Amino acid sequence: DVIKTITAENAPWECVDESGAALPLKEIPSFVTLATGEPQRDVVIGIRRDENGIAWIKLNTEVVRDNHSDKPIGVLTTFIDVTKERDEKERLREQGERAQMAIESTGMGVWDWYPAERKMIWDAKLFQLYGYLNANAVSSVAAWKKAIHPEDSEWVNAEAEDKMANA
């Protein structure tokens, strides 16, 4: 009964889009389905209730039809709270931006090593630091092996093989 008495005009919350801007009534998924007859899938909107911020939900909607006449009589809306997932995604995005700024400001190159796959990935800056103007000129493994001092080659290669064998 409580749900039936809440309308867009008297709702104790405000719907917002992913940028945090107020979401016009006609863009709220339930109203879109009501107006168009088309279901809405995996639409994320925010619900601003009070000073505690915004809760983010992912909605799906479906038209409810009369069993006899097939006339639309309502909209079924289901949702799941995705606030934690969205907040974590935003935190990781910001962390990535900070890391990228640190890398760029120090002139560092970045590499990833996947020993089990015997694969190494370098970014363009690392190839540049190793003296390669074209990152496609040589594989990252070949560039790395070429940079090993000849006196260190035997033990470095043995260590690398050991790490890859035990990955």
List the chain pLDDT tens, one digit each, 167 residues: 455 565 666 777 789 998 889 998 889 999 899 899 999 999 999 998 777 789 999 999 999 999 999 898 889 999 999 999 999 999 999 999 999 999 999 999 998 988 888 788 888 898 889 888 877 777 888 888 888 999 999 999 899 888 878 87
**Those residues with Cβ within 8 angstroms of residue 137's Cβ, 6 or more apart along the chain or in another chain:** 127
Count how many residues are written for the chain: 167
Q: How far is CA 48 from the centre of its chain?
A: 22
pLDDT of amino acid 5: 60
- At residue 135, the 3 state secondary structure works out as coil
Q: What is the pTM of this model?
A: 0.62
Residue 51 CA to residue 108 CA, distance in Å, equals 42
Residues 167 and 164: their CA atoms lie apart, in Å, by 5
**Tens digit of pLDDT for each residue in 40-88?**
999 999 998 777 789 999 999 999 999 999 898 889 999 999 999 999 9
What is the per-residue pLDDT for 154?
92
pLDDT at 146: 86
Average pLDDT, rounded, for the chain: 88
